[in-house]
Amino acid sequence: MRNPLAVGAATLAVVLSLGLAACGSSDDSGDSGDSTLSNSELIAQADQVCTDYNKKLTKIQENTDLTADSSKEDIAAFISDDIVPLYKDQIASLRELNPNEDDADDFNDIVDTLDSELKAVEDDPEGSIDESDPFAGATAKAKEFGLKVCGSN
C-alpha cells in the first residue's frame, strides 16, 4: 500500500497507504470474469490495477491546491472529496476479479479489510491525517498474499 496522501511532504502527514486497493479488470484477455484466475494471474492483474490507480492518485495529488499551510479541515475535505472515491473505485474493481477457490478466502479478506479501513477513513477523515498507515491491515495481508505493488508502502 502506497502512501497516497503525501500531497506535500510536510503538508500531509496523511498517509492513506493504499497500494493494494487497486485491482481492476483492465486486463485485455477478453474474459467475461466468469473464469477463475490462477494465483499468478490474480497477482498480476491486481498489481497492474494497483499501478494504474497509483498513477491516478499521483495525478490527484499533483493537482491539489493544498500546501504546507493548509488546514486540517481542508485536508480532510480533500480526503473525503477526492481520495475516498478513488479508493472506492479500486475496491469495486478488486471485487470484479474472480480468484480461484484456493485463493478466494484470502483475497476476499484483503479486499474486505481494505474496505473496512477505508470506511474508517471516510467516517473520520480528519482523524486519519495523523495516522501513518490507515490501511496497515490490508497492506500486511496483501504482502503476505504475494502482491508486490498492492502490498507496497
Render pLDDT for 58-71 as a digit per residue (tens, 0 to 9).
Answer: 999 999 999 889 99
Question: Which comes out higher in pLDDT, residue 105 or 68?
Answer: 105
Residue 19 located in a structural domain: no
Query: Whole domain around residue 106: which residue ranges?
Result: 40-145
In this structure, is residue 11 part of a structural domain?
Answer: no
Least confident of 92-101, 106-115, 127-136: 127-136
Which pLDDT band, with edges at 50, 70 and 90, does 85 fall under?
Answer: very high
How would you label 27-45 residue by residue, b for 16+ Cβ within 10 Å and e otherwise?
A: eeeeeeeeebbeeebbbeb
How sure is the predictor about 9, in pLDDT bands with cuts at 50, 70 and 90?
very low
Domain assignment present for 33: no
Which among 85, 22, 94 is positioned nearest to 52, based on CA atoms?
22
Instruction: Give the pLDDT of residue 151.
Output: 81
Query: Average pLDDT of the chain?
Result: 82
Q: Which of 15-29, 35-49, 54-68 has the lowest mean pLDDT?
A: 15-29
Percent of the chain with pLDDT over 90: 66
Q: Is residue 44 part of a domain?
A: yes
* 24 grid coordinates: 481492476
Residue 18's pLDDT is 37
Is the residue at 75 inside a domain?
Answer: yes
- Residue 74 lies inside a defined structural domain of this protein: yes
The pLDDT value given to residue 49: 84
Total number of domains constituting the chain: 1
Average pLDDT for 100-113: 96
- pLDDT recorded at residue 139: 93
